A and B are shown apart, each in its own frame.
Chain A
Amino acid sequence: MTRPANYMYKSWWKILSVLLLVYTVIGGLLLPVPSLPALEETIRNLYFHVCMWFAMMILFSLSVIYSIYYLRGFDLKYDIYARQFATSGIVFGLLGYATGAIWMSYTWADPNNPAFQSFGALAREPKLIGAAIALLIYFAYLVLRDSIQDMDKRARISAVYNIFAYAMLFPAIWIVPRLLPSLHPGQEGNPAMNFKDIDGRMRMVFYPAVIGWTLLGVWITTLNIRVALFKEKKLSA
């Protein structure tokens, strides 16, 4: 390939990712966790559900970084990077919803609690709205990409939209949810980063889990990027 020194073709971080994920699954299911009312053992889902959102945010951020790279040099390679990172971010976002739905069905969706009887009441949850906005923005990004024929123009316009949308995403998912009442923890400050909120025993698994899942996301993306680059080569050859 063109740049053998590229991190994409190194294997040490892929091995690290696998090791961390093995540790996450084994440690996450077996290590002791604090027993909290209503949560009980479901708190172990923290190692999966919250990590999905972390991975999603990091992948979207990488996508924006590559969009900025693209606008600096107009190298079409970076456009492919940005698109693939956005797609993987969407996948992790959907997985975040799925894990959240499973968790929710054991904790919030209590049939004895009248507040949680309708789906509408739960869907008003600000963090769900924020995540929905993030996913909608990146769906719109993909729609915009597919609607433009010219390759350079597509890359340029979608990079501009990506950066603009990302800048608007910050208020959407970091400020607005804190202004509205929520069922999620962490109304004030950063929930996962706050040392008071999260037990020391859980941190031993949680931080490696975040790194592991993110590396896995990056790994999947690099595979997609490599396929896309090959296709590009085939077209131009």
Chain B
Amino acid sequence: MLYIGATIFVLFLAIDEPEHKVWNGLFWVTQLFICINAVAKSFLQESRGRMLYFYSIVSPAHFVLAKLLFNSLLMLLMSLLSLLLFSLLMGSPLARPWSFMGLVLLGGWSLSMVFTFLAAIAARAQQNAAIMAVLGFPLIIPQLILLMKISNAAFNPVITFKATDLLLLGALDVLVGTMAVILFPFLWKD
């Protein structure tokens, strides 16, 4: 929370009222870093003892689904908050704020799904959040390109959203979820 506030405040001090392309780029980069910081905690914070406890009471598929769900909700909240702060401090060049909000929620959800799974990998490798960035950035680039491309439509009332792009984004999320459920059992046992 404080991280979001601080980041956006620094941006606010650095530039005021950027034009919409810059606004869009800054917004998604901020989202990316917020996501890494928020989601990395989910696995890296768990102590060994607590993992053993979870191991004894639930199946790995349930565990990873619970993690995905929790992180998705967390990220949705964070996305809304950062959108609010962005519009307050940096001005709002949005032509269609409601559809952009929907897109932000969808994008935040995608980011949190991917990074939850990568946090699991990083935690098993007993590494810090830095390796998560190394592993995650190449994976997240296509989604970010897609998101920025779609969200451009929200700044311009002439361009319409393409349903296929949104479907593609949704399909990617489903893919990540499925992969996580299939692959997590292998990460789980020590």
Interface set of A (CB-CB < 8 Å, partner B): 71, 129, 133, 136-137, 140, 143-144, 147-148, 153, 156-157, 159-161, 163-165, 167-168, 171-172, 175-176, 179-180
Contact = CB atoms under 8 A, between A and B. Distances in A.
Interface magnitude class on chain B: 20 to 34
Contacts of A172: 138, 141-142
Given A168-B142, A179-B165, A180-B145, 14 more contacts: A133-B141, A136-B137, A137-B139, A140-B134, A140-B138, A148-B125, A148-B126, A157-B187, A164-B117, A164-B139, A164-B179, A167-B179, A172-B138, A172-B141
B142 A153 contact: no
A233 to B, nearest CB: 26
A165 B139 contact: yes
Contacts of A147: 125, 127, 131
A76 B2 CA distance: 45
Nearest to B134: A140
Contacts of A148: 125-126
Contacts of B165: 179
B94 interface: no
Interface in B65-105: none
Nearest to B139: A168
A144 B142 contact: no
B168 A171 contact: yes
B175 interface: yes
A160 B186 contact: yes
B124 interface: yes
Nearest to A148: B125
A217 B145 CA distance: 32
B135 interface: yes
Contact of B124 (A136, A153, A163, A164): A153
A93 B186 CA distance: 30
B141 A180 contact: no
Contacts of B135: 140, 144, 161, 165
6 cross-chain pairs, A with B, having the tightest CB-CB distances, nearest first: A136-B138, A172-B142, A137-B138, A168-B139, A176-B142, A160-B183
A164 B122 CA distance: 13
Contacts of A167: 175, 179
A144 B138 contact: no
A156 B186 contact: yes
Contacts of B186: 71, 156, 159-160
A129, A140, A163, most chain B CB atoms within 10 A = A140
B183 A143 contact: no
A163 B183 CA distance: 8
A165 B136 CA distance: 9
A157 B139 contact: no
A129, A160, A167, most chain B CB atoms within 10 A = A160
A179 B137 CA distance: 20
Contacts of B142: 133, 168, 171-172, 175-176
A63 to B, nearest CB: 16
Nearest to B117: A164
Contact of A179 (B114, B138, B143, B149): B149
Contacts of B125: 144, 147-148, 153, 157
27 contacts: A129-B141, A136-B138, A137-B139, A140-B138, A144-B135, A147-B125, A148-B125, A148-B126, A156-B186, A156-B187, A157-B121, A157-B125, A160-B121, A160-B186, A163-B183, A164-B121, A164-B179, A164-B183, A165-B135, A165-B138, A165-B139, A167-B179, A171-B142, A171-B146, A171-B172, A175-B142, A179-B165
